[in-house]
Amino acid sequence: MSDETYQQQLAQEAELWGSESERMAEVVPPEWTHHRHLRHNVIVHGPEIERLLRLVKPGMTALELGCASGWLTLALAQQGADATGMDLAEKSLAVARAYYEKVQPSVKGRVTYVAADFNRLELPAATYDLIVVKAVLHHLVNLPSVVQELRKALKPGGLLWIDDTNGDEAPLSVLIAGALCLVLPTHTRYRDKLRALWKFGLRAPGRVKASIEAEGLSPFEGAGREHDWLKLIDDHFTIERRVSQPGITGYVSAQLKLPDALAIPFLKALRALELLLVRLRLVRSTGVVLYAR
Ligand SMILES: C[S@@+](CC[C@H](N)C(=O)[O-])C[C@H]1O[C@@H](n2cnc3c(N)ncnc32)[C@H](O)[C@@H]1O
């Protein structure tokens, strides 16, 4: 990719996520006490985020890569950390800074927000007790050097926490997620779903797969899938804990058009079933949370 194309795509990436941060901040304040009630957090990410936050001790130095509107960086500081949030999107950082300014007097630790392109990341050596990277690695084209920077920047014994997707969605996961979204009430009308099924026929699973992997949304979506970040982390760190996330449930949760009172019990049951299928190795989970040192 030429440098000009890369810069254009990077600008698109920043615009996409910056606008998303602005939109989300209108709906829900960028703070974990509010974000924890969002459906994707209740169903998929919440338990491991809570676990992470319990590990943060006052005075720790923490870095979050891909902080977007800053809700997680702020949560680290609320636990007493001296936290730095980095992101490409200036619009996201503006949302994060404005919110931090508002709540700063009640925050135990400190927050600094810094703009950076992680594909050209340079971090100071042995600086952080904790590095957090959520839903970012699969957007990066220069993963081997990013992982080396993370290794360099983490203090000896420090914790690296990652929540991301790894690898392609397996055909069975795609079929289950597609079938559930076909029969359940989703944000797409039944008439349109049937039309799409008629139009795409045997190519329909491919469309669902692309949708699960969020292709088309960001110019770099899935760029990092080629690199197998899990292997890179395994090569450079000691993995202490690895948790599978329910990818099918996560996808259905985002599509489902039902009030939370109905959706949440259904999704919790689906999550339990999916994690059982993962444990029985009938379905492969691409969602992973890692704790590594
Ligand atoms: C899927 S969002 C995740 C945001 C946040 N971590 C979360 O889970 O809510 C990906 C974030 O990574 C940032 N990002 C993507 N590519 C980047 C790059 N090359 N350098 C720095 N940040 C990048 C985006 O601006 C966006 O905020």
In the chain, where are the structural domains located? Answer: 3-168+218-237, 169-212+247-278
Pocket flag, ligand 1, residue 139 (CB < 6 Å): yes
CA distance 38 to 36: 6
CA distance 235 to 237: 6
Buried b (16+ CB within 10 A) or exposed e, 7-25: eebeeebbebbbebbeebb
Q: What is the pLDDT along the chain (293 residues), one digit of tens a residue?
A: 788 899 999 999 999 999 999 999 999 999 999 999 999 999 999 999 999 999 999 999 999 999 999 999 999 999 999 999 999 999 999 999 999 999 999 999 999 999 999 999 999 999 999 999 999 998 898 999 999 999 999 999 999 999 998 877 888 888 999 999 999 999 999 999 899 889 888 888 888 887 877 766 788 876 766 678 999 999 999 999 999 999 899 999 999 999 999 999 999 999 999 999 999 988 888 899 999 99
Topology (CATH) of 3-168+218-237:
Rossmann fold (3.40.50)
Please tell me the residue having the least CA distance from ligand 1 atom 17. 88
Give the mutation target among 48, 64, 88, 164 for probing the ligand 1 site: most ligand atoms within 8 A of CB. 88
pTM for this structure? 0.93
Q: Is 161 helix (H, G, I), strand (E, B) or coil?
A: strand
**Residues 53/281, Cβ–Cβ less than 8 Å:** no
